[in-house]
Amino acid sequence: MTRLDPPGGQRRPAVPYPSALARCVSVEPAKFAAAHWGQTPLLSRADELPNPAGFTDLLSTADADELLSRRGLRTPFLRVAKDGQVLPAARYTGGGGAGAEIGDQVLDEKILELYADGATLVLQGLHRNWPPLIDFTGELSQAVGQPLQVNAYLTPPGSQGFATHYDTHDVFVLQVDGRKHWRIHPPVLTDPLERQPWGGRADEVAATAQGPAALDVVLEPGDALYLPRGWLHSAQAQESSSLHLTVGIRALTRYALVEELLALATEDRRLRATLPFGIDLADPDAIEPELTETVEALRDWLLRADPAAVAGRLRQRAWPASRPAPIRPLAQAAALAALTADSQVTVRPGLRWQLTTAGDRVTLHLFDRTITLPAYCEPAVRALLTGAVTRIGDLPALDTDADRLTLTRRLLREAALTPA
């Protein structure tokens, strides 16, 4: 018999809720979820948000300069766009010099030339390489329950990096410095999937952009804007250069359920059957009986679909997209050597986990691995991951401190726990 923890059983870290989300929206979380999430844009002015300093603590223009000049940045962590076109990376990258034999390092003098000539710089993946944004994104991801990514857009005065377009993911736009004029139009395709980018509807997008805007606004430092996927937008810097952050929300859709159901449908022999010998694939009359039987077989299979199997595939798909908080490998290794029964540990912040038991084994499912242990370890593992116990010597269901230390060392080495 297999027991499965309820979905979402992971423990969330103790963070000052809702500080990250409150910095992005000027309404209560419940109202945001009901009235705006996935539906309509929301403009939040700086004086409606809790941090009067705006967003410079997350990334300032000086921080951007440091990334561009002193951090050895490489592609694809930078894109450069001008007149609506993304420039080839060869225009601004080159060799890293002695001791760094690479050919795609960002060259600051090339960036200066392009930026001074009106190009927009897009710093990508900042949720992975800039500490304040790593922490902020981790907390915000916990609040919205979805994986996030963060890019920064640096636009020279009067310039526009991209023509009117839509994104296939929701975004929070956080204006850090300067002023930027945004024009927002309703979708030409509601809730587009990633496989439905705006380029396939360029004429319709361009025509809609000529009509009246749903929102025509200049974002000032400290302002925030939420845009659901599919909403058309363009933005132009005003009299000075502009820096804004775009937090992309990579939410799964119902179509993801369809994809996983179809992947599991390969188990049905009727759906694997070969079409008749010599069938004319261009003849609708020849295809009709095969289509009818296929639809019937698919319907029968869907009625027997196992929610646990679908959930397992979704876990494998979604969890790796949102990494838990960073760990310090050297400090963690040192803690392993110094561990005693009086040591305290805690679950890695942001870690998603799930426990299943089968027979005499318990399996801990993490975002990138599974760990199998004797079933009698289950109460102790659960106590550690839920935070019910932090002192190693207090772990339940294990007879000796030696057993408790062995289990804790394993979970520390697997980066499920960190020293408290």
Task: For residue range 60-116, list pLDDT tens digits in order.
Answer: 999 999 999 999 999 999 999 998 899 999 999 999 888 888 889 999 999 999 999
With cut-offs at 50, 70 and 90, classify the pLDDT of residue 13: very low
Q: What is the mean pLDDT of residues 292-309?
A: 95
User: What's the maximum distance between 2 C-alpha atoms anywhere in the chain?
Assistant: 76
Whole-number pLDDT of residue 15: 38
Higher pLDDT, 140 or 100: 140
Residue 6 has pLDDT above 70, yes or no: no
Whole-number pLDDT of residue 206: 94
Q: 146 in the Ramachandran plot: left (φ > 0), alpha (ψ -120 to 50) or beta?
A: beta
In 3D space, the residue among 137, 126, 117 whose CA is nearest the CA of residue 71 turns out to be 126
Please, is 289 exposed, middle or buried when counting C-beta atoms within 10 Å of its C-beta (0-12, 13-18, 19+)?
A: exposed
Phi and psi at 119, nearest 5°, equal -80, 150
Q: Give tens-digit pLDDT for 45-54.
A: 999 999 878 9
Which residues are bridge partners to 234 per DSSP?
183
Whole-number pLDDT of residue 162: 86
Whole-number pLDDT of residue 18: 42
Which residues are bridge partners to 244 per DSSP?
153, 175
Q: Return the amino acid letter for 84.
A: G
With cut-offs at 50, 70 and 90, classify the pLDDT of residue 19: confident
Residues 6+ apart with CB under 8 A from 326: 134
Three-class SS state of 95 = coil
C-alpha distances in Å from residue 305, one per residue of 20, 72, 268, 283: 38, 49, 11, 32
Q: CA 117 to CA 94: how far, in whole Å?
A: 20
Q: What is the mean pLDDT of residues 267-284?
A: 96
Phi and psi at 402, nearest 5°, equal -60, -40
Q: CA 107 to CA 316: how far, in whole Å?
A: 38
Judged by average pLDDT, the poorest of 11-15, 89-93, 410-414 is 11-15
Q: What is the mean pLDDT of the chain?
A: 93
Q: CA 404 to CA 409: how far, in whole Å?
A: 9
Whole-number pLDDT of residue 381: 98
In 3D space, the residue among 74, 145, 66 whose CA is nearest the CA of residue 321 turns out to be 145
Residues 6+ apart with CB under 8 A from 293: 270
Q: Would you give the DSSP letter of residue 90?
A: G
Whole-number pLDDT of residue 257: 95
Domains of the chain: 20-249 (2.60.120.650), 254-318 (no CATH), 329-419 (3.90.930.40)
Judged by average pLDDT, the poorest of 5-14, 16-25, 370-379 is 5-14
Q: At what angle do helices 378-386 and 401-413 cross, to 10 degrees?
A: 60
Question: To which residue do tokens 């299979």 refer?
Answer: 301
Phi and psi at 227, nearest 5°, equal -125, 120
Q: Give tens-digit pLDDT for 164-214.
A: 999 999 999 999 999 999 999 999 999 999 999 998 999 999 999 999 999
Q: What is the mean pLDDT of residues 253-281?
A: 95
Q: CA 269 to CA 278: how far, in whole Å?
A: 21
Residue 258 has pLDDT above 50, yes or no: yes
Contact 120, 161 (CB under 8 A): yes
Tokens of 321: 């997209």
Q: Give tens-digit pLDDT for 316-374.
A: 999 999 899 999 999 999 999 999 999 999 999 999 999 999 999 999 999 999 999 99
Whole-number pLDDT of residue 29: 93
Q: CA 238 to CA 179: how far, in whole Å?
A: 6
